[in-house]
Structure 1
Amino acid sequence: MDSVFEAFKETLGQEKPTEIEVVWAMSLSLVLNLVIGTVYKATYRGTKYSQDYVQTLVIMGLVTTILIMVVSGNLSIAFGMFAAFSVIRFRRNLGQARDLGFVLFAMATGMVVGARFYSMAVLTTLITSAMIIVLTRKNAFAPQSLSHQLRIRVANDINYDEVFEPIFEEFTDTADLVSVETVQAGMMTELTYGIRLKTDAQLHLFVERLQIANGNDRILVTTKQGGKQ
């Protein structure tokens, strides 16, 4: 523990940056965090894109650079800053898990620039950005087919196990009955299935076959990401 403390103390003991170096570091941090924001926008695949969030990424990276440069050579300010950070909360519900990764990416870049490792900041930002772009374009780690939820309404006189089983065998890899609910004062039955379509299955043909089987009653297919199909 003492060795870690001494290393931290030595880092803070660097000569204070000049005004010109502060301007240079802030400019570099701004450029690199704009790159991060652009990468986030270009690789975003959700339905709730937020301009405010991207601007916040840039601001957080820049502010982190300022703070790291300010604490250089002043141990008391450093511990005061860390104490302040401990009570700060990121007051936004992150839409995707990757959003947290970009927050850490922006802050880490700001920290490296603030520590005056300029070439390392440029190199790590470019490498990480390239990795994110490749993973997105290759659709890495995606499932073989999208998982869907199927809600279908049938008349009470229909034997749904017998009627739908051949259709599920033709179009799905799995079809699990999740719930059975009576609707319209008990005159109809609404079934909820968790399904995984086959790779070559066409969704519109699947829905068409189901409509024929259930007498054109209500059918709703949604993806697990929430988008209607």
Structure 2
Amino acid sequence: MQNENNNQMSFSDLLNTEILANFNTDISLTQISITMLLSFLIGLFIYTLYKRIFSGVLYSKNFNITLVGLSMITSLVIMAIGSNLILSLGMVGALSIVRFRTPIKDPTDLVFLFWALASGIITGAGFYSLAILGSIIVGVVLFVFMKKSKFETPYLFIVSFNGETTEQNIYEQIKKTVNRYDIKQKSVTASETEITFEVRLKEKEPGFVNSITNIQGVENAVLLSYNGDYVQ
């Protein structure tokens, strides 16, 4: 019975020793410098890419700067957690009660937010090659798909006019200047007709609206950018 207790105590001591061995209490100044510099460079890469491919209505510079800070702060936290067992347990408890109330309106912002967070975690853990290679791959994928979707951005084109002849001329002009169009809504009153189109413009078509307003009988024409969700 005593031997069994000794074996259990030995296993417990061994387990505690293995756990504590995974925590490095000494963090060199070189390691801190490399980690912080790399997390800053990856954060700067995320900042530049977000600014380059942003396709929303209002660009938030403050949110973009937050991505850089988030990457660096997360790497600091991970380094601290990896060096102290008590601190790591306290950090887990603190994060479990933190509630983030900032709304994320664009799903793309959420992707960049998690990217910055993940890069900070990986860099802080010391996996520098994984952080660099992973960020390059993620950046290339996002750049390709976001640029493609930006090129194919749909627009709502609302035109008001009088006369059937005018309507035919509008259709002919739209066919000449857009890649594709769909009629979303058409309303007819005694005084005028209003049609809402979804159009996908050809590259570099700055005179599209003017070409429609120059048609005789057209009273008003408005071109609006939207995200593809249309509610009648």
Shorter-chain TM-score bucket reads 0.5 to 0.7
Aligned to 1:122: 132
1:22 paired to 2:32:
yes
**% identical equivalent positions:** 22
Give the Cα separation in 2 of the matches to 1:200 and 1:67: 46
Specify whether residues 146 and 166 from structure 1 end up closer, same or farther in structure 2 by C-alpha distance, changes over 3 A only: farther
**Which of 50, 55, 60 is the matching residue for 2:65?**
55
Alpha-carbon offset, residue 190 of structure 1: 5.6
Specify whether residues 60 and 181 from structure 1 end up closer, same or farther in structure 2 by C-alpha distance, changes over 3 A only: farther
**Which of 183, 187, 193 is the matching residue for 1:176?**
183
RMSD: 3.8
Aligned to 1:3: none
Q: Find the residue that maps to 1:217 and give its secondary structure.
A: strand
Q: Find the residue that maps to 1:212 and give its secondary structure.
A: coil
**Which of 150, 172, 192 is the matching residue for 2:157?**
150
Aligned to 2:196: 193
Aligned residues: 206
Q: Find the residue that maps to 1:105 and give its secondary structure.
A: helix
**Which of 140, 147, 152 is the matching residue for 2:148?**
140
Give the Cα separation in 1 of the matches to 2:140 and 2:203: 32
Q: Find the residue that maps to 1:48 and give its secondary structure.
A: coil
Aligned to 2:223: 221
Unaligned runs of 5+ in 2: 1-14
Specify whether residues 91 and 210 from structure 1 end up closer, same or farther in structure 2 by C-alpha distance, changes over 3 A only: same
Amino acid at match of 1:220: V
When structure 1 is superposed on structure 2, of 124-133 and 193-202 the one drifting more is: 193-202
Alpha-carbon offset, residue 31 of structure 1: 2.4
Amino acid at match of 1:116: G
1:88 paired to 2:90:
no
Amino acid at match of 1:66: L
Alpha-carbon offset, residue 120 of structure 1: 2.0
Amino acid at match of 1:43: I
1:208 paired to 2:217:
no
Specify whether residues 32 and 195 from structure 1 end up closer, same or farther in structure 2 by C-alpha distance, changes over 3 A only: closer
CA contact (8 A) 2:20 2:85 kept: no
Alpha-carbon offset, residue 149 of structure 1: 1.7
Normalised to the residue count of structure 1, the TM-score between the two structures is 0.68
Specify whether residues 90 and 193 from structure 1 end up closer, same or farther in structure 2 by C-alpha distance, changes over 3 A only: same
Give the Cα separation in 2 of the matches to 1:62 and 1:131: 23
Q: Find the residue that maps to 2:148 and give its secondary structure.
A: coil
CA contact (8 A) 2:157 2:223 kept: yes
More helix by share: 2
Give the Cα separation in 2 of the matches to 1:189 and 1:15: 77
1:41 paired to 2:51:
yes
Specify whether residues 177 and 50 from structure 1 end up closer, same or farther in structure 2 by C-alpha distance, changes over 3 A only: closer
Q: Find the residue that maps to 1:220 and give its secondary structure.
A: strand
